[in-house]
Structure 1
């Protein structure tokens, strides 16, 4: 899928505002091999920005390959978490909704 920026651009393009209509959250992505990004979901919109947010709802740590595989549907996010490929801190249940908010 390319660089971290490419992955987040693709995610934003796939954003489903109906699935996220009741959501108000900040997903922080701590990438092992790239700059950190955070995605803000509010009022039925999603914005990805490079950097670290000081008040993330959930923080997910992984490498870009894992993020790409989860966001393309090659890898189940829960399986990746159970295998230790994804680290999560904060509202972990919210993290399980990522593939609903950004469907393949």
Structure 2
């Protein structure tokens, strides 16, 4: 594969050179590593779908897709639901 040239600011070039030197590699290899570490939108969507599948399959989560989409902090919502469920099982029922 042929190399390509990209334009970056001198500060960015110097930073890439320092990162590459510290890791004993080239600027090109350092850029390739940085790019490989960034997921695409498609990869992010696949990870979200897999996470939701695992939550449903292994943890019995019953939140709908729209509920999952609404909350910015899904993990906290899952903790809250699990805590409420645990409390309901531990709290003795009062008779009237």
- Normalized per residue, the structure richer in strand is 1
- Normalized per residue, the structure richer in helix is 2
TM-score, normalising length from structure 2?
A: 0.24
Considering only CA atoms, is the larger Rg found in Structure 1 or Structure 2? 2
